[in-house]
Amino acid sequence: MRVGIVGLGAIAQVVYLPLLARRADGFRIGAVCDLDGDHAAEFGRRLGVPAFDDPARMLDAGGFEALIVLTPGSHGPLVRAALDRGLWVLSEKPLAYSRAELRGIPEDARLMVGYMKQYDPATQRLLETLHEVGGPAGVRHMDVTVLHPSEESQLLFARARPSRPSPSSLAPYLGADDRALTTALGTSAHRLRRLYAEVVLGSVCLDLSLMRLLVGPPDTVDHVAVWPADAFPPSLEISGVLPGGGRYGLRWHHLPGYPAYREIVTLHHDHGSLQLRFPSPYLLNAPTHFSLTCRVGITERTTVYRDVAEAFERQLLAFHRFVTEDTPPLTGLPGARTDIVTAQRVVARYAGWAGIPVGGECAAEGPGGPDGPDGPVTEEALVGG
């Protein structure tokens, strides 16, 4: 299967290119593209494939039947252009910033969204075990905590080659992102736009995708807090009701100097607990710990599973099956759109509580309508909830 790669940043260099080389039994790279032309040319030479500094020219040149989208920002326009050319697409998150970017794309589009944690063997084992203990309806509470160091500290080991596109090459894409954010949020405060794009859709969406897979998307977003006022990215806390009647609590903390990435997902049910402990996503084949705690007679028993199968690799193999066998992915267009709606509900709930004006698509998702309940607020109030 011949694939084109758009975006040659850290995730491409540390994860996708090594795994595509590892799985040469199923993949061949047909072309690469990055807005930094010299950067793209270097990888084109290494891989022996054509290199481009313009995604449209790469799509027009062809030479591959599937596209892997690894660029920063919204992927909506590029994904649409690839689908219009008949390509299969694997897009890293976020798929888009606004629902409008996805309008007109068929529900059964040849599109897979890359939420690798859904394919982690520990996640799949938890999903199987959950059904054995009563399924999503039996979950009393889902608890998620993410301790997120800086990207730089997580990637110190990798020595990735930086991409440095010129301002003129970046400008059209930044402009498109800005218009998409205006469609989603209206002319809201700059910090709210960053919270939505960089934190909720840039990282927390991975946890929303896990929730959707395991128990379903949240029924309600009851409470959102963001703090402290003098830091960005900040801490974020979200809580509400699950589809089965249980509740969830999600806490995401950006801690620049924290020693290592930590993510803990715990589901409590009537008879015990199921827990996932994820390592940094950049450490290939580092196992996610799955533990289940239950009672056997009068004994508390905890069983721990560790599997070194790589989630990103399993995701690539799922994409291969999608293309060659038409096996549906865990997340296609409908699931990704659901996550965007949930992200908008999160931002709308926070904006409504804090009295921050929010418009666009987001205005319909919460109490903070286009003018907000209390009129404009200061930038400092944006993170004071």
Burial per residue of 82-108, b for 16 or more beta-carbon CB atoms within 10 angstroms, e otherwise: bbeeebbbbbbbbbbbbbebbeebeee
The token pair at 183 is 């469609």
Model confidence pLDDT, tens digit, residues 118-164: 999 999 999 999 999 999 999 999 999 999 999 999 999 999 999 99
Model confidence pLDDT, tens digit, residues 333-352: 999 999 999 999 999 999 99
State in Å, rounded, how far the first CA of the chain is from the last one.
49
Asked if residues 234 and 195 have their Cβ atoms less than 8 Å apart, the reply is: yes
Residue ranges and CATH numbers for the domains of the chain are 2-115 (3.40.50.720), 117-310+331-383 (3.30.360.10)
What was the pLDDT predicted at 154? Answer: 93
pLDDT at 303 over 90: yes
What was the pLDDT predicted at 364? Answer: 81
> 3-state class of 336 per DSSP?
helix
What was the pLDDT predicted at 264? Answer: 98
What was the pLDDT predicted at 205? Answer: 97
Model confidence pLDDT, tens digit, residues 24-42: 999 999 999 999 999 999 9
Q: Which residues partner with 29 through β-bridges?
A: 3
Model confidence pLDDT, tens digit, residues 87-125: 999 999 999 999 999 999 999 999 999 999 999 999 999
Asked if residues 215 and 142 have their Cβ atoms less than 8 Å apart, the reply is: yes
Model confidence pLDDT, tens digit, residues 363-381: 887 543 333 333 333 333 3
Distance (Å, whole) CA 242 – CA 246: 5
The predicted model gives 275-304 an average pLDDT of 96
Work out the mean pLDDT of the chain and round it to a whole number: 93
pLDDT at 385 over 70: no
Distance (Å, whole) CA 111 – CA 87: 9
What was the pLDDT predicted at 330? Answer: 98
What was the pLDDT predicted at 366? Answer: 57
Contacts of 108 by beta carbon, 8 Å cutoff, 6+ apart: 332
For the question of whether the overall pTM of this predicted structure is more than 0.75, the answer is yes
Model confidence pLDDT, tens digit, residues 189-248: 899 999 999 999 999 999 999 999 999 999 999 999 999 989 999 999 999 999 999 999
Distance (Å, whole) CA 84 – CA 78: 10
Model confidence pLDDT, tens digit, residues 170-188: 999 999 999 999 999 998 7
Per-state percent for the chain, helix, strand, coil, to nearest 5: 40, 25, 35
Q: Which residues partner with 28 through β-bridges?
A: 2
The predicted model gives 347-360 an average pLDDT of 93
What was the pLDDT predicted at 380? Answer: 39
DSSP secondary structure string for all residues of 117-151: GGS-HHHHHHHHHHHHTT-GGGEEEEEEEEEE--H
31 to each of 61, 66, 77, 129, 279, how far by Cα in Å? 9, 11, 19, 41, 31
The token pair at 364 is 């319909």
What was the pLDDT predicted at 188? Answer: 79
